[in-house]
């Protein structure tokens, strides 16, 4: 039975912690040089709404490409993860968003099992609520247990489960983290899994620079609005006085690190205060806030990341252009 109603309660509990996390993050990232903010800060209700629009843009290939891979291979992926069909199957999805692609996997699971549970985890309560509504509508047989949580500041602790767990980490969200952080996140996740459990990891592969740049700097300016929304969020939630019109969205391909970088560039010298974080900032003209990294992968990097964090690769699926990969590994 669908249980998304409980996110209303979880939401109220989460809001105090979320405010504290925001304050800690601006105090850490905006006083330091170069200035930076963590990418989870993008995802308030407006940020999630803008991200959903991004996923439909012609330039933004990752979502539709990953969906194509899952649509063509969901049965094989689930069969590979779930050897003993007499056991219940639990999906735990980190950064589930609105779970727009997850139903493909849940449907495949329901074709081989009548005991399927889904635990979507996300920092954004509005996205999570939509995820639960989507799944409850399409697949009412799936038991749901949504968790509002920031898996970076507050690593996940899973309830024990008498069955197989398939962890999902899709949308190349792992690419938002530097190699050390990515290893930490997967190691924390591995520590919550048992032998026989599995991880399905979605990654965006290294490709030509114009394709990569366009995906993060679309012609309609939706990604620019998504990036600038972090300043609006700080105004709304922490009483800051950023004038977002005085900042501009900047994207670059860092070839050495194999990552797309998103920045907000101050277009003039300006002062900003963030009342609830008790900080005053002075920006020089052209000074930037580094708001996101999106690392791109090679087969070799995927293999070593999984090996180093206690996983063993079982299957790897790509689209016909080799732009994105979905990799299944089991716990060693
Ligand atoms: C790039 S979107 C991907 C959404 C979805 N998995 C997909 O493949 O389309 C990232 C999602 O992860 C969530 N998220 C980002 N950082 C997070 C964090 N530290 N803890 C929990 N959720 C996070 C965001 O709210 C957002 O829904």
Q: Along the 332 residues of the chain, how does pLDDT read in single tens digits?
A: 344 433 334 444 456 688 999 999 999 999 999 999 999 999 999 999 999 999 999 999 999 999 999 999 999 999 999 988 899 999 999 999 999 999 999 999 999 999 999 999 999 999 999 999 999 999 999 999 999 999 998 999 999 999 999 999 999 999 999 999 999 999 999 999 999 999 999 999 999 999 999 999 999 999 999 999 999 999 999 999 999 999 999 999 999 999 999 999 999 999 999 999 999 999 999 999 999 999 999 999 999 999 999 999 999 999 999 999 999 999 99
Is the C-beta atom of 65 inside 6 A of ligand 1?
A: no
The CA-based angle 254-40-65, given to 5 degrees, is 60
Question: Rounded distance, CA 237 to CA 239, Å?
Answer: 6
Using the mean position of ligand 1's atoms as its centre, give its distance from the Cα of residue 156 in Å: 14
Closest atom of ligand 1 relative to the 93 alpha carbon: 6
- CA-closest candidate to residue 91, choices 43, 204, 104, 302: 104
Q: Which of 25, 62, 122, 200 to mutate to test the pocket of ligand 1 (most atoms within 8 A of CB)?
A: 122
**Is any ligand 1 atom within 6 A of the Cβ of residue 62?**
no
State the distance from the centre of ligand 1 to the C-alpha of 164, rounded, in angstroms.
23
44 CB neighbour count, 10 Å cutoff: 22
**Ligand 1 pocket member 294 (CB < 6 A):** no
Q: Does ligand 1 lie within 6 Å of residue 51's CB atom? A: yes
Report the run of H or E that residue 45 belongs to, with start and end: helix 45-54
To the nearest 10 degrees (0 to 180), the angle between helices 7-29 and 125-138 is: 140
> Quick one: pLDDT at residue 6?
36
| 4-207+298-331: CATH architecture | 3-Layer(aba) Sandwich (3.40)
270-274 vs 247-254, strand pairing mode: unpaired
Instruction: Extract the tokens encoding 167.
Output: 């962890």
151 CB near ligand 1 (under 6 Å): yes
In this prediction, residue 16 carries a pLDDT of 61
Report CA(128)–ligand 1 centroid distance (Å): 10
């Amino acid at each position: 039975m669908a249980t998304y109603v409980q996110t209303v309660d979880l939401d109220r509990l989460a809001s105090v912690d979320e405010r504290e996390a925001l304050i800690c993050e601006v105090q850490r990232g905006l006083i330091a040089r170069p200035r930076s903010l963590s990418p989870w800060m993008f995802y308030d209700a407006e940020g999630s709404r803008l991200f959903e629009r991004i996923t439909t843009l012609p330039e933004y290939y990752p979502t539709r490409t990953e969906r194509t891979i899952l649509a063509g291979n969901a049965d094989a992926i689930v069969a590979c993860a779930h050897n003993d069909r007499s056991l219940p199957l639990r999906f735990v999805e980190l950064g589930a968003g609105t779970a727009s692609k997850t139903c493909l996997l849940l449907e495949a699971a329901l074709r081989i099992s009548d005991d399927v549970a889904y635990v979507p985890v996300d920092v954004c309560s509005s996205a999570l609520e939509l995820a639960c509504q989507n799944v409850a509508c399409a697949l009412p047989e799936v038991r749901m247990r949504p968790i509002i949580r920031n898996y970076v500041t507050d690593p996940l602790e899973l309830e024990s489960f008498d069955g197989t767990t398939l962890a999902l980490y899709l949308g190349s969200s792992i690419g938002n983290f530097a190699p050390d952080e990515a290893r930490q996140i997967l190691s924390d996740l591995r520590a919550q899994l048992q032998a026989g459990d599995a991880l399905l990891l979605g990654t965006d592969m290294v490709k030509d620079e114009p394709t990569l740049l366009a995906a993060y700097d679309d012609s309609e300016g939706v990604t620019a609005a998504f990036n600038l929304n972090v300043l609006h969020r700080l105004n709304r939630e922490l009483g800051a006085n950023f004038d977002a019109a005085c900042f501009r969205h900047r994207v670059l391909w860092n070839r050495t690190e194999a990552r797309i970088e998103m920045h907000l560039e101050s277009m003039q010298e300006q002062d900003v205060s963030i009342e609830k974080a008790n900080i005053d900032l002075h920006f020089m003209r052209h000074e930037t806030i580094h708001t996101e990294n999106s690392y791109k992968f090679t087969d070799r990097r995927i293999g070593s990341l999984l090996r180093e964090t206690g996983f063993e690769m079982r299957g790897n699926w790509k689209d016909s252009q080799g732009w994105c990969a979905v990799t299944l590994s089991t716990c060693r």
